[in-house]
Amino acid sequence: MDSNNTNHRPVNLSKQQSKDNEKLNQLKQYVSQSKYIEPLEQIKVCQSFGLTYFKNVFRDEYRKRFYDFLFENVTTCANVTKHTSIPQKYLCECKAYYENKKLLKVVGWGICPVTNSKNVQFLSTNPNIWNDAFLFPQSNQLKMF
């Protein structure tokens, strides 16, 4: 046997990888078409597809939903939760993820449409509106002069 031949793979392994990839794609499709799935249920969903727990499938889908919602809507995390059912605590992680990648910006402060809390961050992932003046809060410093 030639020890330099690193491309040699058993046929069964290739077939198994193909089956696993198909199952993984089916899982991704299922998650993308489902409402938010709680973490303990995520494990069961993966098992129902004959897979081990693929946390990243759920994480990536929920990050994408958060990003897409904020691309179309300038709003608060509480409002994203209201519309997507993704828990607000998890959205805070998503917010930090996109801020670190410079793909999300706090574009203003105001009253949350869901909680009525004051001085809440309004977020956007749409760079085309990040500099729109109407999105920025009135500065108290300007009122002093």
- Written as one string, the DSSP assignment of 18-38 is HHHHHHHHHHHHHHHHSPP--
Q: Containing H/E element for 120?
A: strand 120-124
Cα 129–Cα 132–Cα 135 angle in degrees, nearest 5: 95
Q: Which has the minimum average pLDDT: 67-81, 109-123, 125-139?
A: 125-139
pTM of the predicted model as reported, rounded to 2 decimal places: 0.79
Q: Does the pLDDT at position 138 exceed 50?
A: no
Distance separating alpha carbons of residues 132 and 144, to the nearest angstrom: 23
Residue-wise pLDDT tens digits, 20-56: 899 999 999 999 999 999 999 999 999 999 999 999 9
Q: By mean pLDDT, which of 2-6, 80-84, 141-145 is the weakest?
A: 141-145
Name the band, by pLDDT with cuts 50, 70 and 90, for residue 13. low
pLDDT at 9 over 70: no
Which structural domains are found in the chain, ordered by start? 11-133 (1.10.10.10)
Do 28 and 61 touch, CB atoms closer than 8 A?
yes
pLDDT for the residue 51: 96
Alpha-carbon distance values, 144 to 41, 74, 135, 139, 141 (Å): 54, 29, 21, 9, 5
- Structure tokens given for 105: 């910006």
3-state DSSP call for residue 64?
helix
Pair 75, 109: CB distance under 8 Å: no
Query: What pLDDT is attached to residue 144?
Result: 39
Q: Look at residue 143 in the predicted model and tell me its pLDDT.
A: 41
The predicted pLDDT at position 8 comes to 56
The pLDDT tens digits of the residues spanning 97-130 come to: 999 999 999 999 999 999 999 999 999 999 999 8
Average pLDDT of the residues in 83-102: 96
CA 33/CA 27 separation, integer angstroms: 10
